[in-house]
Amino acid sequence: MTDSTSELNRLAEGLALAPQAFMQPPKETSTFVIFGASGDLTHRKLIPALYNLACAKMLPEGFHVVGFAVTPMDDATFREEMRKAVQKSKEVTEFRESVWNDFAQGLHYITADFEAPEGYERLQKLLAEIKTEHQVPDNRLYYLAIPPSFCRLVTEKLGEHNLVSPTGKQGEGWTRLIVEKPFGHDIASAQDLNAHIHKVFKEEQIYRIDHYLGKETVQNLMAFRFANSIIEPIWSRRYVDHVQITAAETLGVEHRGLYYEEAGCLRDMFQNHLIQILAIIGMEPPVRYGGSSVRDRKADVLRSIVPINPENLVEIAVRGQYGAGKAEGVVVPGYREEQGVNPKSNIETFVALKLFVDNWRWSEVPFYLRSGKRMNTKVTEIVIQFKRVPHMFFQLSQDDVMEPNQLIIRIAPDEGISLRFGAKVPGPSMRLRPVQMNFSYSETFNVQPATAYETLLLDAMEGDATLFNRNDAVELAWDVLEPLLEIWSATRPFHPFPNYAAGSWGPTGADQLMLKDGRSWRNPPDAPLLSRVNLENGHGGGTHV
């Protein structure tokens, strides 16, 4: 490794970024009640995340899990089901028999219909038994891993059966509620759901979960901005040309055809994930890292987004639907051929948007957002593209490539940060090429980042709502997208669906959205981020400096 590479790596590793090693177990234990515990989310995410926390000794003594669902099971059957789920989970690196045996002792299950009072009476009795037999505080964390249509019913039943304490504070026998997305179907339904939940739970007891906000790199975005004096001064309209946010998936809708026919890409990805990332990118420095302060600043950004003009949609929005093609080398069907999908469906599986944040920091800086199914590469990343230098006085040849500086923040699949800048090619003549300095989270800290659900569940146990959505933020996000939702639901696509092939980077209209502004999407190569400096040839390859 050369001296220049070593210096740049030391610079990358010196940036203020928070490894998992500093996480601490909650100060108080609690009982974690999962409504809908027989479902997919519990199998794939919740129990594997809790097991990982058990392996890392991050669960407090006396921690219990109660599954509540209509599928008939007893404690032993539930424990065996969860064991199988953990053993085959891709998010669990190692299955340890001793850890599982200890963890499984705290797993319980109640077979009950969400409407029937008997189930809630049994839950009340079980919670009392856990408190008495294990001498633990009466702290309850309810998780609604259920369809949105049941959220109102379950919260009402919890209130009717006195299963909710009046506080969410530590040391006072607290009760908290975690609500999964989608939070409403539009702004009216979101406001209605908020109003009904508030009849039983106070706002400070409600944790609206968005797993994107639990990813290490999304959190590191705040650390990267606000803990490094070389970054924050250039994070504004004075230096930034535009921002790109991409969330691309190679998978289709799989077994979620019925859900996707109701939701579509705009509701599924933009109202929560992408709009929240935009808010973190655009927010002003909070007074402190804490629930209210951070969430206040995020809400300020959402209030500053320029409303979508229905008369100007062709200039700012593109929708698409995938047809048949190849994904990862395998021939796959189009969206309309997927199970549960209307053969004439006009539901979008791809969206690209251009939004503006009308405030002092970001005025006239476009934010380009895109997300789609059956894309070329699975990747979620943020690109901050800086303005070109005002005058290039070097005498460059046709072979020289000078591209704008880019800061690339990779959220998935390999979390890291990359910085592209210009450098001289070794030799007697002045020839320039872009070089790339890359920081890989796993390589630098020699650990795999905690999964998003591990982080968020721990925060909920601690009563830290920083990474959860507040009611006003949810409603503001719906408010941004409502005009687009109304028009797209009432009109046919301008270009007939399907309008992009599986395995591509989406419809050509998305490229035109940027090309007419003299810009282009960054379509990431498959190569992972590495902790080294690469000398690129302008097409993603190159030699090492």
CATH 3.30.360.10 placement within the chain:
213-390+451-530
Residue 14, pLDDT score: 46
pLDDT at 20 over 60: no
Q: What is the pLDDT of residue 528?
A: 40
**Sorting pLDDT into bands at 50, 70 and 90, what band is 363?**
very high
pLDDT of 482 strictly over 90: yes
Nearest residue to 203 (alpha-carbon basis) of 474, 481, 477: 474
**Where is pLDDT greater, at 224 or 396?**
224
Among 141-150, 237-246, 388-397, the minimum mean pLDDT is found in 388-397
What distance in Å separates the CA atoms of residue 545 and residue 533, rounded to the nearest whole number? 6
Which one is predicted more confidently, 450 or 103? Answer: 103
Query: Which has the minimum average pLDDT: 79-88, 390-399, 531-540?
Result: 531-540
The answer, yes or no, to whether residue 30 has pLDDT greater than 90, is yes
Q: For position 213, what pLDDT does the model report?
A: 85
In this structure, are residues 420 and 406 in contact, taking their beta carbons and an 8 Å threshold? yes
Q: Model confidence over 288-320: pLDDT tens digits?
A: 877 688 999 999 999 999 999 988 898 999 999
Top-confidence residue, 489 or 19? 489
Average per-residue pLDDT for the chain:
87
- pLDDT band with cut points at 50, 70 and 90 for residue 205: very high
Nearest CA to 369 out of 460, 281, 257 is that of 281
- pLDDT band for 393, please (50, 70, 90 cuts): low
Neighbour tally for 425: CB within 10 Å: 15
pLDDT at 353 over 50: yes
Task: Please tell me the predicted confidence (pLDDT) of residue 394.
Answer: 66
| Residues 485-513 pLDDT 10s | 999 998 988 889 999 999 999 999 999 99
Residues 6+ apart with CB under 8 A from 371: 246, 247, 248, 249, 265, 269, 270, 273, 274, 350, 351
pLDDT at res. 391 = 67
Instruction: Tell me what percent of the chain is helix, strand and coil, each rounded to the nearest 5.
Output: 40, 20, 40
Q: Dig out the tokens for 324 from the structure.
A: 């048949």
The whole-number pLDDT of residue 529 equals 39
**533: pLDDT strictly greater than 50:** no
* Percentage of the chain exceeding pLDDT 70: 88
Beta strand extents in 280-378 (DSSP E only): 317-320, 322-323, 325-327, 330-332, 350-356, 366-372
Task: Give the model confidence (pLDDT) of 450-459 as tens digits.
Answer: 888 999 999 9
Confidence (pLDDT) at 494: 83
Given a cut of 50, whether residue 542 has pLDDT beyond it is: no
Q: Where in the chain is the domain with CATH 3.40.50.720?
A: 26-209
Q: 73-99, pLDDT tens digit by residue?
A: 999 999 999 999 999 998 898 899 999
List all residues 6 or more positions away from 330 whose beta carbon is below 8 Å from its beta carbon. none
CA distance 244 to 402: 20
More confident residue, 189 or 396: 189
Residues labelled catalytic: 273
Fold of 213-390+451-530: Dihydrodipicolinate Reductase; domain 2 (3.30.360)
The answer to whether the beta carbons of residues 141 and 178 sit under 8 Å apart is yes
Is residue 507 a contact partner of residue 498, using CB atoms and an 8 Å limit?
A: no
Mean pLDDT of 390-418: 78
Question: Which of 26-30, 169-173, 222-226 is predicted most confidently?
Answer: 26-30
Q: What is the pLDDT of residue 7?
A: 42
pLDDT, residue 389, reads 79
Q: What superfamily would CATH give domain 26-209?
A: NAD(P)-binding Rossmann-like Domain (3.40.50.720)
Instruction: Assess whether pLDDT exceeds 60 at residue 537.
Output: no
Q: Stretch 354-373: mean pLDDT, rounded?
A: 97
Count H helices, E strands: the chain?
A: 17, 20
**DSSP run (H or E) holding 250:** none
